[in-house]
Structure 1
Amino acid sequence: MAMLFPNVALTRGIAVRVAVSYLAEQSDPASQRWFWSYHVRIENGGDVAVQLLSRSWRIVDGRGTVHEVHGEGVVGEMPLIGPGASFDYVSGCPLDTPSGEMSGTYRMVDEDGTAFDVDIPRFPLLSA
Structure 2
Amino acid sequence: MVTAITEGIKVSVEATYQSEYSSPHQHHYVFTYKVTIENNSPSTIQLLRRRWEVSDAGQKSRIIEGDGVVGQQPILEPGYAHQYVSGCNLNSGKGKMKGNYYMERIQDGKTIIVTIPEFQLIADIFHN
TM-score bin (small chain): over 0.9
Task: Give the Cα separation in 2 of the matches to 1:96 and 1:29.
Answer: 8
Cα-to-partner distance string for 1:101-123 (whole Å, 9 max, x where unaligned): 00000000002100120000000
Q: Residue 32 of structure 1 aligns with which residue?
A: 27
Q: Given the alignment, which residue of 41, 48, 51 partners 1:53?
A: 48
Letter paired with 1:121: P
1:116 counterpart = 2:93: no
Deviation at 1:64, TM superposition (A): 4.2
Query: Does 1:70 find its partner at 2:65?
Result: yes
Moved over 6 A (4+): none
The root-mean-square deviation of aligned C-alpha atoms, in Å, is 0.6
Q: Which amino acid aligns with 1:126?
A: I
Give structure 2 stretches of 5+ with no counterpart.
Answer: none
TM-score when scaled to structure 2? 0.94
Task: Give the secondary structure class of the aligned counterpart of 1:25.
Answer: helix
1:82 and 2:82 matched = no
Count of residues in Structure 1 that have an aligned counterpart in Structure 2? 123
Cα shift at 1:30: 1.0
Give the share of equivalent positions with the same residue, in percent: 38
Match of 1:23 in 2: 18
Structure 1: where are the runs of 5+ without partners? 1-5
Equivalent position of 1:7 in the other structure: 2
